[in-house]
Amino acid sequence: MTPAVADCSVRPAGSRDLADLKRMRIALQELLAGKDPEVWRLSADFLARLDRFYADIIAKDDNRVFVAVDREDRPVAMLMVRIITSAQMLVSRFGRIDDAWVEPSWRARGVMTALTRAACRFLADRGVSLVMLDWANNNEPSGTCWQRIGFKPLMTMGFAGPAAILDRPGKE
């Protein structure tokens, strides 16, 4: 286990954590849907098989899900990191962080920093020199957290339905 913050430590998730990973990801889904219900909705089918999804992620050597656990080894936070390979990119192997969640009572205590550091150690040990993630523009606490950890915003993604674009008057 990696030391994290008082009363909490970080370790790789295992099969015993699948129910907690699913619970935390559903909580993240609810938070994101509350920020923008048009964009951040997972399908019912995917939600039903989240435990299988995390089992598959954990089984691959280029992936990790880290959990922060309390003194009784109960997960209170999670972060998934994967190594992505893309021949189209100048940096062809990079890390991607997703599914980051901290239980509300554990926030602002350094838990996400500890999880992110564990993920970055995992990536550095595998020779990965770049890590990326995304956060919703309308989720200011998330953006503030990630920037304090060391990420800088470089892109904004736009979302629209084709009809909304086609219905708009104006010049190209």
pTM: 0.87
Cα 9 to Cα 28: distance, rounded to the nearest angstrom? 21
Helix residue ranges per DSSP H, the chain: 18-35, 44-48, 50-59, 111-125, 140-149, 162-166
Cα 5 to Cα 45: distance, rounded to the nearest angstrom? 36
Closest CA to 8 of 105, 100, 98: 105
pLDDT in tens, 31-66: 887 777 776 678 889 989 999 999 999 999 999 999
The pLDDT profile of the chain, 172 residues, written as one tens digit per residue, is: 444 466 899 999 999 999 999 999 999 988 887 777 776 678 889 989 999 999 999 999 999 999 999 999 999 999 999 999 877 766 678 999 999 999 999 998 999 999 999 999 999 999 998 998 888 777 788 888 888 999 898 887 777 788 888 888 876 6
| Burial class for 49, CB neighbours closer than 10 Å (0-12, 13-18, 19+) | middle
Helix (H, G, I), strand (E, B) or coil at 31: helix
Summarize the chain as % helix, strand, coil (round to 5).
40, 20, 40
Domains, the chain, ranges and CATH?
Answer: 2-166 (3.40.630.30)
Helix (H, G, I), strand (E, B) or coil at 10: strand
Cα 110 to Cα 104: distance, rounded to the nearest angstrom? 12
Cα 103 to Cα 12: distance, rounded to the nearest angstrom? 17
Angle, helix 18-35 to helix 50-59, in steps of 10 degrees = 120
pLDDT in tens, 65-76: 999 999 999 999
Helix (H, G, I), strand (E, B) or coil at 111: helix
Cα 22 to Cα 150: distance, rounded to the nearest angstrom? 27
Cα 53 to Cα 108: distance, rounded to the nearest angstrom? 29
